[in-house]
Amino acid sequence: MRTKLVNAEGATDTTSDAALGTGLVVLFAVPGAFTPTCHVNHLPGFIANESKLRAKGVDRIVCASVNDHHVMKAWAEGSGALGKIDFMADGNAELAEALGLARDFSGSGMGKRFARAAMLIRDGIVDAVFIEDGPGVNASGAPAILMALEVAAS
Protein backbone atom coordinates (compact mmCIF):
# COMPACT_ATOMS: atom_id res chain seq x y z
CA MET A 1 0.00 0.00 0.00
CA ARG A 2 1.18 3.52 -0.77
CA THR A 3 1.38 5.72 2.31
CA LYS A 4 3.15 8.73 3.76
CA LEU A 5 5.65 8.21 6.55
CA VAL A 6 6.42 11.06 8.94
CA ASN A 7 9.65 10.84 10.92
CA ALA A 8 12.56 13.03 12.00
CA GLU A 9 13.62 13.41 8.35
CA GLY A 10 10.20 14.77 7.31
CA ALA A 11 7.28 13.31 5.37
CA THR A 12 8.05 10.88 2.56
CA ASP A 13 6.08 8.79 0.13
CA THR A 14 6.62 5.11 0.85
CA THR A 15 4.89 1.77 0.93
CA SER A 16 3.71 -0.22 3.91
CA ASP A 17 6.21 -2.93 2.92
CA ALA A 18 9.13 -0.49 3.10
CA ALA A 19 7.97 1.02 6.39
CA LEU A 20 7.06 -2.21 8.16
CA GLY A 21 9.00 -4.95 6.38
CA THR A 22 12.42 -5.02 8.05
CA GLY A 23 13.35 -6.00 11.59
CA LEU A 24 11.03 -6.04 14.57
CA VAL A 25 8.35 -3.39 14.24
CA VAL A 26 5.65 -2.38 16.68
CA LEU A 27 2.76 -0.90 14.75
CA PHE A 28 0.02 0.68 16.80
CA ALA A 29 -3.07 2.07 15.16
CA VAL A 30 -5.35 4.76 16.50
CA PRO A 31 -8.71 6.11 15.33
CA GLY A 32 -7.40 9.68 15.06
CA ALA A 33 -4.53 12.01 15.80
CA PHE A 34 -5.24 14.46 18.63
CA THR A 35 -8.44 12.62 19.63
CA PRO A 36 -8.75 12.38 23.42
CA THR A 37 -7.94 8.72 24.08
CA CYS A 38 -5.31 8.54 21.34
CA HIS A 39 -3.56 11.73 22.44
CA VAL A 40 -3.82 11.30 26.22
CA ASN A 41 -3.71 7.52 26.74
CA HIS A 42 -2.35 5.64 23.73
CA LEU A 43 0.54 7.60 22.19
CA PRO A 44 2.08 8.76 25.51
CA GLY A 45 2.60 5.16 26.64
CA PHE A 46 4.71 4.44 23.57
CA ILE A 47 6.69 7.64 24.00
CA ALA A 48 7.38 6.83 27.68
CA ASN A 49 8.32 3.21 26.92
CA GLU A 50 10.30 3.78 23.73
CA SER A 51 13.66 2.89 25.31
CA LYS A 52 12.21 -0.24 26.97
CA LEU A 53 10.76 -1.37 23.63
CA ARG A 54 14.10 -0.80 21.92
CA ALA A 55 15.85 -2.75 24.70
CA LYS A 56 13.52 -5.67 23.86
CA GLY A 57 14.78 -5.62 20.26
CA VAL A 58 12.23 -3.34 18.61
CA ASP A 59 13.79 -1.64 15.59
CA ARG A 60 10.93 0.70 14.72
CA ILE A 61 7.79 1.96 16.44
CA VAL A 62 5.11 3.18 14.04
CA CYS A 63 1.82 4.89 14.81
CA ALA A 64 -0.78 4.62 12.05
CA SER A 65 -3.92 6.67 11.68
CA VAL A 66 -6.39 7.65 8.99
CA ASN A 67 -5.23 11.26 8.91
CA ASP A 68 -3.23 13.16 6.33
CA HIS A 69 0.53 13.54 6.75
CA HIS A 70 0.22 17.22 7.74
CA VAL A 71 -1.92 16.28 10.75
CA MET A 72 0.36 13.38 11.62
CA LYS A 73 3.42 15.67 11.48
CA ALA A 74 1.73 18.23 13.73
CA TRP A 75 0.80 15.46 16.17
CA ALA A 76 4.33 14.01 16.16
CA GLU A 77 5.80 17.44 16.86
CA GLY A 78 3.16 18.50 19.38
CA SER A 79 3.43 15.29 21.39
CA GLY A 80 7.22 15.21 21.55
CA ALA A 81 7.26 11.89 19.70
CA LEU A 82 9.12 13.06 16.60
CA GLY A 83 12.41 11.19 16.37
CA LYS A 84 11.19 8.43 18.70
CA ILE A 85 8.17 7.13 16.83
CA ASP A 86 7.41 7.14 13.11
CA PHE A 87 3.91 8.15 12.02
CA MET A 88 2.10 6.58 9.09
CA ALA A 89 -0.60 8.62 7.38
CA ASP A 90 -3.22 6.30 5.88
CA GLY A 91 -5.44 9.08 4.56
CA ASN A 92 -7.70 6.84 2.48
CA ALA A 93 -7.85 3.99 5.03
CA GLU A 94 -6.32 1.60 2.48
CA LEU A 95 -3.89 0.04 4.95
CA ALA A 96 -6.59 -0.11 7.62
CA GLU A 97 -8.78 -2.03 5.15
CA ALA A 98 -5.97 -4.33 4.01
CA LEU A 99 -5.12 -5.23 7.62
CA GLY A 100 -8.77 -5.86 8.48
CA LEU A 101 -8.67 -3.04 11.01
CA ALA A 102 -10.98 -0.53 9.31
CA ARG A 103 -13.98 0.53 11.38
CA ASP A 104 -16.88 2.82 10.52
CA PHE A 105 -16.92 5.81 12.87
CA SER A 106 -19.50 7.66 10.75
CA GLY A 107 -21.82 7.84 13.76
CA SER A 108 -19.25 10.14 15.36
CA GLY A 109 -18.69 12.11 12.14
CA MET A 110 -15.24 10.58 11.60
CA GLY A 111 -15.86 8.21 8.69
CA LYS A 112 -13.67 5.15 8.16
CA ARG A 113 -10.84 4.83 10.69
CA PHE A 114 -8.44 2.31 12.20
CA ALA A 115 -9.68 0.24 15.08
CA ARG A 116 -7.52 0.81 18.15
CA ALA A 117 -4.93 -1.95 17.84
CA ALA A 118 -1.26 -2.91 17.89
CA MET A 119 0.82 -5.56 16.18
CA LEU A 120 4.24 -7.10 16.35
CA ILE A 121 5.72 -7.48 12.88
CA ARG A 122 8.97 -9.39 12.26
CA ASP A 123 10.55 -8.89 8.85
CA GLY A 124 7.19 -8.08 7.29
CA ILE A 125 5.28 -10.96 8.89
CA VAL A 126 2.68 -10.21 11.54
CA ASP A 127 3.51 -12.22 14.68
CA ALA A 128 0.73 -10.96 16.93
CA VAL A 129 -2.28 -8.65 16.78
CA PHE A 130 -3.86 -6.92 19.76
CA ILE A 131 -7.26 -5.30 19.11
CA GLU A 132 -9.18 -3.39 21.75
CA ASP A 133 -12.61 -4.87 22.37
CA GLY A 134 -13.98 -1.77 24.09
CA PRO A 135 -13.18 1.82 24.88
CA GLY A 136 -9.82 2.73 26.37
CA VAL A 137 -6.29 1.43 25.95
CA ASN A 138 -5.53 -1.99 27.38
CA ALA A 139 -4.57 -4.74 24.92
CA SER A 140 -2.90 -2.36 22.45
CA GLY A 141 -0.98 -0.14 24.87
CA ALA A 142 2.78 -0.08 25.35
CA PRO A 143 2.68 -2.07 28.65
CA ALA A 144 0.77 -4.90 26.94
CA ILE A 145 3.23 -4.91 24.03
CA LEU A 146 6.19 -5.03 26.43
CA MET A 147 4.58 -7.99 28.19
CA ALA A 148 4.03 -9.76 24.85
CA LEU A 149 7.69 -9.21 23.93
CA GLU A 150 8.78 -10.66 27.28
CA VAL A 151 6.61 -13.73 26.81
CA ALA A 152 7.93 -14.22 23.26
CA ALA A 153 11.50 -14.02 24.51
CA SER A 154 11.03 -16.73 27.13
| DSSP character string of 101-149 | -EEE-GGGT--EEEPSEEEEEETTEEEEEEE-SSSSSSTTSHHHHHHHH
Annotation marks residue 38 as catalytic? yes
pLDDT at 1 exceeding the cut of 90? no
Q: What is the pLDDT at residue 26?
A: 98
Active-site residue identified among 19, 25, 30, 38: 38
C-alpha distance from residue 58 to each of 21, 26, 84, 119 (Å): 13, 7, 12, 12
pTM listed for this prediction:
0.96
Q: What are 72-86's pLDDT values in tens digits?
A: 999 999 999 999 999
Q: Please tell me the predicted confidence (pLDDT) of residue 129.
A: 97
Residue 149, pLDDT above cutoff 90: yes
Overall average pLDDT of the 146-153 stretch: 93
Average pLDDT over the chain, rounded to an integer: 96
Q: Which domains does the chain have, with CATH numbers?
A: 2-153 (3.40.30.10)
What pLDDT, on the 0 to 100 scale, is given for residue 152? 87
